[in-house]
Amino acid sequence: MKPLVAIVGRPNVGKSTLFNRIVGKKVSIVEDFEGVTRDRLYCDAEWCGFNFTLIDTGGLEIKSEDKMWRHIREQARIAVEIAEEVIFVVDGKAGMTANDMEVADFLRTSKKPVIVAVNKLDNNEQENLYDFYSLGVGDVIGISAEQSKGIGDLLDAVIENLPKVEDNQQDDTINVAIVGKPNAGKSSLTNKLLGYERVIVSDIAGTTRDAIDTAFEWNGQKFNIIDTAGIRKKSAVDEGVEQYSVLRSLAAIRRADVVLIVIDAAEGMSEQDIKICGYVHEQGKPSVIVMNKWDAVEKDTYTVNTFNKKMQGDLKFMDYFVPVYVSALTGQRVDKILSLALEVYAEATKRVATGVLNDVITDAIIAVEPPSHNGKKLKVYYVTQSGVCPPTFVFFVNDAKLMHFSYQRYLENTLRKTFEFKGTPIKLIVRNRKEEV
């Protein structure tokens, strides 16, 4: 496992800008107002051949008793606790504050190595460094995260005392994105799967703003759980932070191997839930429909069947869906989720031998004659599987224009009936091949 380095500091000192500079891409939200970063945000980084994982944290208001600030403080505490080293970011323009002293006292109790990064020294104002030595928690280095000044010196200091870890093993981690509308219970589900409070849980919609990665192992399989911000209707999304959050949630779907689509069962499937399912389907991702808050639903013998029938109507475009009915609050059936995630991932990575594939398609063509137009009949010469995730099949034919969508749907259903492909979309590509004489 790569060594962990936590970035901490009071609000609005430029922690997220520094985080993005070090990892070399825009991962953490950067805005000019407080409270944007709330949860711990992880990303791998490299400096001079040395690999480590950086943890961005929310701005620390040590003495605030506000509920949200207490949550942020707890997330930062956990980050410092699990890290091998801490970068303490302060504002060189504003100078040292009482809050900086409080953060320093907090870090001193952790007994972790600390480097004080004095940020916003855009013109190398070295005289602004001196006051921060009185914090007494570690070396002081002047930087400008905005202008990328001093970052190299900072990273040299960071890697100096970190243990070097050789990573020669092939990564077989499965990335699982947890998505859904705001307040569907995504963060509660994440915490229940992990067995501890990894992300902030609140009844305030929009609490999670970043896509938050957490690596863990279950039954010998490595997973990376990605908790995401709630995806609201486009018309309801505010510009700025929430817009970035939604974009990051959609990006999390694109990089996921499996997607857990969390739906509030007490509310039932909404139009927005269907749109989220549609996006996951369009991205070719295997998925599990997680009907959460099942404990809040009045049930009888037929309730599950009623829900499944409703989904069959709503999700005609993804009739391969796999549902599971859970309660993140009570833990009911949560243990089934990862088993299903592995199952649909196995289906998405399944390969079919070319000989078997062509035998199945030949039998299907004999059973239902291909379409024709103006006296010309569609001929399917052969089929091959060209890829996985999603399983992709290429049909070589005499004229692709003759492949009516209804017949293509029939062939897709044939593949599903024979090979199942449970929980994953499949892709059919039709290509012309000159008829041999």
- DSSP secondary structure letters along 283-318: TT--EEEEEE-GGGS---TTHHHHHHHHHHHHTGGG
β-sheet bridge partners, residue 284: none
Give the integer Cα–Cα distance in Å for 308 and 327. Answer: 17
Question: pLDDT at residue 236 above 50?
Answer: no
Which part of the chain has CATH 3.30.300.20? 354-432
Q: Give the pLDDT of residue 246.
A: 61
* DSSP one-letter string for 206-237: T---S-EEEEEEETTEEEEEEE------GGGP
CA angle 77, 63, 208 (to 5 degrees): 50
Query: Mean pLDDT highest for which of 14-23, 131-140, 198-207, 409-418?
Result: 409-418
Question: pLDDT at residue 31 above 70?
Answer: no
Question: pLDDT at residue 303 above 80?
Answer: yes
Confidence band, pLDDT 50/70/90 cuts, at residue 248: low
Grouping H, G, I as helix, E, B as strand and the rest as coil, residue 315 is: coil
Question: pLDDT at residue 323 above 70?
Answer: yes
Confidence band, pLDDT 50/70/90 cuts, at residue 37: very low
CATH of 4-160, one of 3.40.50.880, 3.30.70.100, 3.20.20.70, 3.40.50.300: 3.40.50.300
Task: For strands 41-47 and 4-8, give the pairing.
Answer: unpaired
Percent of the chain, pLDDT > 70? 85
Q: Give the pLDDT of residue 408.
A: 96
Give the integer Cα–Cα distance in Å for 309 and 251. Answer: 31
Question: pLDDT at residue 436 above 50?
Answer: no
Task: For strands 50-56 and 41-47, give the pairing.
Answer: antiparallel
Confidence band, pLDDT 50/70/90 cuts, at residue 211: low
Superfamily of domain 354-432: K homology (KH) domain (3.30.300.20)
Query: Mean pLDDT highest for which of 161-175, 315-329, 421-435?
Result: 315-329
Q: Give the pLDDT of residue 233.
A: 63
Which of 74-83, 150-159, 204-213, 425-434 is predicted least confidently? 204-213
Question: pLDDT at residue 239 above 60?
Answer: no
Grouping H, G, I as helix, E, B as strand and the rest as coil, residue 70 is: helix
Give the integer Cα–Cα distance in Å for 52 and 164. Answer: 9
Top-confidence residue, 2 or 293: 293
Closest CA to 105 of 132, 74, 75, 137: 137
The class of domain 174-348 in CATH terms is: alpha beta
- pTM value surpassing 0.85: no
| Average pLDDT of the residues of the chain | 85
Q: What does the pLDDT average to over 118-129?
A: 87
Confidence band, pLDDT 50/70/90 cuts, at residue 209: very low
Q: Give the pLDDT of residue 35.
A: 41
Q: Give the pLDDT of residue 247.
A: 60
Q: Give the pLDDT of residue 121.
A: 93
Give the integer Cα–Cα distance in Å for 39 and 56. Answer: 8
Q: Give the pLDDT of residue 296.
A: 94
Q: Give the pLDDT of residue 196.
A: 62
Confidence band, pLDDT 50/70/90 cuts, at residue 81: confident
> Token pair of 88, please?
């303490």
Secondary element (H or E) of residue 384: strand 380-387
Which part of the chain has CATH 3.40.50.300? 4-160, 174-348
- Rg of the chain, C-alpha, whole Å: 26
Q: Give the pLDDT of residue 410.
A: 97
Confidence band, pLDDT 50/70/90 cuts, at residue 434: low
Q: What does the pLDDT average to over 167-174?
A: 63
CA angle 140, 21, 45 (to 5 degrees): 90
Sheet holding 427-432, edge to edge: 380-387, 392-397, 427-432
Top-confidence residue, 128 or 153: 153
Q: What does the pLDDT average to over 276-294?
A: 95
Q: Give the pLDDT of residue 241.
A: 41
Q: What does the pLDDT average to over 61-73?
A: 77
Q: Give the pLDDT of residue 201.
A: 41
Question: pLDDT at residue 411 above 60?
Answer: yes
Q: What does the pLDDT average to over 19-41?
A: 57
Contact in structure between 59 and 28 (CB atoms under 8 Å): no
Q: Give the pLDDT of residue 32.
A: 39
Which residue matches tokens 């013998």? 301
Q: Give the pLDDT of residue 199.
A: 45
